[in-house]
Amino acid sequence: MVASVFIRGGSLRHHWLMSDAAVSVRRYEPHDREAVVLLAPRLEFGVAHWRDAEAVRRAVAGWIDESLANADAEDREVLVAQVGEEVVGVVTVAQRRHFTGEVDAYVGELVVRAEHERRGVGSLLMHAAEAWARGRGLRHLTLETGAANAPARAFYARRGYQEEDVRLTKALGCPPQGSQVE
Ligand SMILES: CC(C)(COP(=O)(O)OP(=O)(O)OC[C@H]1O[C@@H](n2cnc3c(N)ncnc32)[C@H](O)[C@@H]1OP(=O)(O)O)[C@@H](O)C(=O)NCCC(=O)NCCS
Protein backbone atom coordinates (compact mmCIF):
# COMPACT_ATOMS: atom_id res chain seq x y z
CA MET A 1 0.00 0.00 0.00
CA VAL A 2 1.27 3.50 -0.78
CA ALA A 3 1.99 5.01 2.61
CA SER A 4 2.98 8.49 1.53
CA VAL A 5 3.68 10.55 -1.55
CA PHE A 6 5.45 13.83 -1.08
CA ILE A 7 7.65 16.38 -2.76
CA ARG A 8 11.08 17.01 -1.32
CA GLY A 9 13.61 19.50 -2.66
CA GLY A 10 11.59 19.89 -5.84
CA SER A 11 11.90 16.22 -6.75
CA LEU A 12 9.06 13.75 -6.70
CA ARG A 13 9.49 11.04 -4.11
CA HIS A 14 7.16 8.18 -3.28
CA HIS A 15 7.53 5.95 -0.26
CA TRP A 16 5.87 2.58 -0.19
CA LEU A 17 6.15 0.81 3.14
CA MET A 18 6.03 -2.94 2.69
CA SER A 19 5.95 -5.79 5.15
CA ASP A 20 9.68 -6.45 4.85
CA ALA A 21 11.22 -3.22 3.59
CA ALA A 22 10.59 0.40 2.69
CA VAL A 23 10.97 1.28 -0.98
CA SER A 24 11.45 4.84 -2.13
CA VAL A 25 11.39 6.18 -5.67
CA ARG A 26 13.55 9.17 -6.53
CA ARG A 27 15.25 10.81 -9.50
CA TYR A 28 18.24 9.02 -10.98
CA GLU A 29 21.58 10.53 -9.99
CA PRO A 30 24.93 9.90 -11.72
CA HIS A 31 26.20 7.76 -8.81
CA ASP A 32 23.33 5.30 -9.55
CA ARG A 33 24.75 4.53 -12.97
CA GLU A 34 26.58 1.30 -12.15
CA ALA A 35 23.58 -0.21 -10.34
CA VAL A 36 21.22 0.74 -13.17
CA VAL A 37 23.52 -0.62 -15.87
CA LEU A 38 23.59 -3.95 -14.01
CA LEU A 39 19.80 -4.14 -14.37
CA ALA A 40 19.90 -3.84 -18.17
CA PRO A 41 20.32 -7.57 -19.03
CA ARG A 42 16.90 -8.25 -17.51
CA LEU A 43 15.40 -6.35 -20.45
CA GLU A 44 16.54 -9.15 -22.78
CA PHE A 45 13.81 -11.36 -21.32
CA GLY A 46 10.86 -11.94 -23.63
CA VAL A 47 12.51 -10.79 -26.87
CA ALA A 48 11.46 -13.08 -29.72
CA HIS A 49 13.64 -16.22 -29.85
CA TRP A 50 14.39 -15.67 -33.55
CA ARG A 51 16.32 -12.45 -32.85
CA ASP A 52 20.12 -12.58 -32.61
CA ALA A 53 20.95 -12.84 -28.89
CA GLU A 54 24.16 -10.82 -29.10
CA ALA A 55 22.46 -8.04 -31.06
CA VAL A 56 19.68 -7.98 -28.46
CA ARG A 57 22.25 -7.71 -25.66
CA ARG A 58 23.96 -4.77 -27.38
CA ALA A 59 20.67 -3.02 -28.10
CA VAL A 60 19.43 -3.32 -24.53
CA ALA A 61 22.70 -1.96 -23.13
CA GLY A 62 22.45 0.89 -25.65
CA TRP A 63 18.89 1.79 -24.60
CA ILE A 64 19.95 2.13 -20.97
CA ASP A 65 23.10 4.09 -21.91
CA GLU A 66 21.07 6.51 -23.99
CA SER A 67 18.42 6.98 -21.32
CA LEU A 68 21.03 7.68 -18.64
CA ALA A 69 23.00 10.02 -20.90
CA ASN A 70 19.81 12.07 -21.46
CA ALA A 71 18.44 11.78 -17.93
CA ASP A 72 18.57 15.56 -17.43
CA ALA A 73 16.67 16.39 -20.62
CA GLU A 74 13.57 18.50 -20.15
CA ASP A 75 11.21 16.04 -21.84
CA ARG A 76 12.16 12.91 -19.90
CA GLU A 77 12.70 11.44 -16.46
CA VAL A 78 14.70 8.55 -15.08
CA LEU A 79 13.53 7.27 -11.70
CA VAL A 80 15.09 4.65 -9.47
CA ALA A 81 13.59 2.53 -6.69
CA GLN A 82 15.74 2.17 -3.62
CA VAL A 83 15.61 -0.24 -0.68
CA GLY A 84 17.96 0.94 2.04
CA GLU A 85 20.99 2.14 0.11
CA GLU A 86 20.46 -0.31 -2.75
CA VAL A 87 18.98 0.57 -6.16
CA VAL A 88 16.52 -2.23 -6.95
CA GLY A 89 14.69 -0.89 -10.00
CA VAL A 90 14.53 1.77 -12.68
CA VAL A 91 11.96 3.29 -15.00
CA THR A 92 12.64 5.72 -17.85
CA VAL A 93 9.83 7.87 -19.22
CA ALA A 94 9.83 10.48 -21.94
CA GLN A 95 7.50 12.46 -24.16
CA ARG A 96 6.82 10.93 -27.56
CA ARG A 97 4.54 11.99 -30.36
CA HIS A 98 1.88 9.50 -31.46
CA PHE A 99 1.01 9.34 -35.17
CA THR A 100 -2.21 11.21 -34.40
CA GLY A 101 -0.05 14.13 -33.32
CA GLU A 102 -0.88 13.73 -29.64
CA VAL A 103 2.13 13.83 -27.32
CA ASP A 104 2.14 10.73 -25.11
CA ALA A 105 4.34 9.68 -22.24
CA TYR A 106 6.42 6.66 -23.23
CA VAL A 107 8.11 4.24 -20.87
CA GLY A 108 11.29 3.02 -22.56
CA GLU A 109 12.62 0.76 -19.82
CA LEU A 110 11.23 -0.71 -16.62
CA VAL A 111 13.30 -3.21 -14.64
CA VAL A 112 13.21 -4.57 -11.10
CA ARG A 113 16.00 -6.67 -9.63
CA ALA A 114 14.99 -10.35 -9.65
CA GLU A 115 15.41 -10.64 -5.86
CA HIS A 116 12.87 -7.83 -5.37
CA GLU A 117 10.16 -8.94 -7.79
CA ARG A 118 6.52 -9.39 -6.77
CA ARG A 119 6.85 -6.94 -3.88
CA GLY A 120 5.25 -3.97 -5.56
CA VAL A 121 8.46 -2.24 -6.71
CA GLY A 122 7.48 -2.28 -10.41
CA SER A 123 4.03 -0.94 -9.57
CA LEU A 124 5.54 1.87 -7.53
CA LEU A 125 7.88 2.83 -10.39
CA MET A 126 4.98 2.87 -12.86
CA HIS A 127 2.92 4.90 -10.40
CA ALA A 128 5.73 7.47 -10.35
CA ALA A 129 6.06 7.47 -14.17
CA GLU A 130 2.29 7.98 -14.49
CA ALA A 131 2.45 10.84 -11.97
CA TRP A 132 5.23 12.46 -14.03
CA ALA A 133 3.08 12.19 -17.17
CA ARG A 134 -0.04 13.52 -15.48
CA GLY A 135 1.99 16.41 -14.09
CA ARG A 136 2.74 17.40 -17.70
CA GLY A 137 -0.87 17.14 -18.73
CA LEU A 138 -0.26 14.07 -20.92
CA ARG A 139 -3.35 11.93 -21.46
CA HIS A 140 -1.77 8.59 -22.31
CA LEU A 141 1.23 6.55 -21.29
CA THR A 142 2.40 3.99 -23.83
CA LEU A 143 5.12 1.34 -23.88
CA GLU A 144 6.21 -1.74 -25.78
CA THR A 145 7.09 -5.17 -24.48
CA GLY A 146 7.87 -8.55 -26.02
CA ALA A 147 4.86 -10.68 -26.92
CA ALA A 148 6.69 -13.55 -25.18
CA ASN A 149 7.19 -11.54 -21.98
CA ALA A 150 4.25 -13.10 -20.15
CA PRO A 151 5.17 -11.73 -16.69
CA ALA A 152 5.43 -8.15 -18.00
CA ARG A 153 2.18 -8.48 -19.95
CA ALA A 154 0.42 -9.75 -16.82
CA PHE A 155 1.97 -6.91 -14.83
CA TYR A 156 0.84 -4.21 -17.27
CA ALA A 157 -2.63 -5.71 -17.71
CA ARG A 158 -3.05 -5.66 -13.95
CA ARG A 159 -2.13 -1.97 -14.00
CA GLY A 160 -4.77 -1.15 -16.65
CA TYR A 161 -2.65 -1.12 -19.83
CA GLN A 162 -4.50 -2.19 -23.00
CA GLU A 163 -3.06 -3.52 -26.25
CA GLU A 164 -3.07 -0.76 -28.88
CA ASP A 165 -0.85 -2.04 -31.74
CA VAL A 166 0.40 -5.54 -32.54
CA ARG A 167 3.56 -6.08 -34.63
CA LEU A 168 3.55 -9.25 -36.77
CA THR A 169 6.69 -11.00 -38.04
CA LYS A 170 7.18 -13.82 -40.53
CA ALA A 171 10.49 -15.63 -41.04
CA LEU A 172 11.30 -15.61 -44.76
CA GLY A 173 13.82 -18.45 -44.70
CA CYS A 174 16.77 -16.35 -45.91
CA PRO A 175 20.25 -16.87 -44.43
CA PRO A 176 21.24 -14.47 -41.64
CA GLN A 177 22.39 -11.00 -42.72
CA GLY A 178 26.09 -10.96 -43.44
CA SER A 179 26.17 -14.57 -44.64
CA GLN A 180 24.65 -13.98 -48.12
CA VAL A 181 26.85 -14.86 -51.09
CA GLU A 182 27.57 -11.69 -53.12
C1 LIG B 1 7.81 -6.79 -15.09
C2 LIG B 1 8.46 -6.30 -13.80
C3 LIG B 1 8.94 -4.87 -13.95
C4 LIG B 1 7.42 -6.36 -12.66
O5 LIG B 1 7.99 -5.80 -11.49
P6 LIG B 1 7.52 -6.28 -10.01
O7 LIG B 1 8.18 -5.40 -9.03
O8 LIG B 1 7.73 -7.74 -9.88
O9 LIG B 1 5.96 -5.98 -10.10
P10 LIG B 1 4.91 -5.90 -8.91
O11 LIG B 1 5.42 -6.60 -7.71
O12 LIG B 1 4.53 -4.47 -8.74
O13 LIG B 1 3.70 -6.76 -9.54
C14 LIG B 1 2.39 -6.35 -9.53
C15 LIG B 1 1.51 -7.36 -10.23
O16 LIG B 1 1.93 -7.59 -11.59
C17 LIG B 1 1.66 -8.97 -11.95
N18 LIG B 1 2.92 -9.69 -12.13
C19 LIG B 1 4.17 -9.27 -11.85
N20 LIG B 1 5.06 -10.24 -12.15
C21 LIG B 1 4.35 -11.29 -12.62
C22 LIG B 1 4.69 -12.59 -13.08
N23 LIG B 1 5.98 -13.01 -13.11
N24 LIG B 1 3.71 -13.41 -13.48
C25 LIG B 1 2.41 -13.02 -13.44
N26 LIG B 1 2.01 -11.81 -12.98
C27 LIG B 1 2.98 -10.95 -12.59
C28 LIG B 1 0.92 -9.56 -10.77
O29 LIG B 1 -0.45 -9.31 -10.94
C30 LIG B 1 1.48 -8.72 -9.62
O31 LIG B 1 0.66 -8.73 -8.50
P32 LIG B 1 0.79 -9.93 -7.41
O33 LIG B 1 2.25 -10.11 -7.09
O34 LIG B 1 -0.04 -9.43 -6.28
O35 LIG B 1 0.22 -11.15 -8.10
C36 LIG B 1 9.65 -7.23 -13.40
O37 LIG B 1 9.19 -8.56 -13.40
C38 LIG B 1 10.88 -7.13 -14.30
O39 LIG B 1 11.77 -6.31 -14.06
N40 LIG B 1 10.95 -7.99 -15.33
C41 LIG B 1 12.14 -8.04 -16.22
C42 LIG B 1 12.23 -6.81 -17.12
C43 LIG B 1 10.96 -6.61 -17.91
O44 LIG B 1 10.37 -7.54 -18.44
N45 LIG B 1 10.51 -5.32 -17.96
C46 LIG B 1 9.27 -4.97 -18.63
C47 LIG B 1 9.40 -4.94 -20.08
S48 LIG B 1 9.86 -3.36 -20.69
Q: How far apart are CA 45 and CA 149, in angstroms?
A: 7
d(CA 100, ligand 1 centre) in Å: 30
Q: Is 46 in the pocket of ligand 1 (CB under 6 A)?
A: yes
Rounded to whole angstroms, the maximal C-alpha distance in the chain is 64
Ligand 1 in reach of 113 Cβ (< 6 A): no
| Of 159, 138, 145, 27, the residue nearest 90 (C-alpha) | 27
- Domains of the chain, earliest start first: 2-158 (3.40.630.30)
Task: Round to whole Å and give the CA distance between 45 and 167.
Answer: 18
Nearest CA to ligand 1 atom 40: 111
pTM of this prediction? 0.90
Res 5: pLDDT:
45
Question: What pLDDT, on the 0 to 100 scale, is given for residue 48?
Answer: 96
Task: Write down the pLDDT at residue 127.
Answer: 96
pLDDT along the chain (182 residues), means of 10: 42 48 90 97 95 96 96 96 95 98 98 96 96 97 97 98 97 80 57
Q: Is 91 in the pocket of ligand 1 (CB under 6 A)?
A: no
Q: Are 71 and 94 in contact (CB under 8 A)?
A: no
Q: How far is the CA of 151 from the centre of ligand 1 (A)?
A: 6
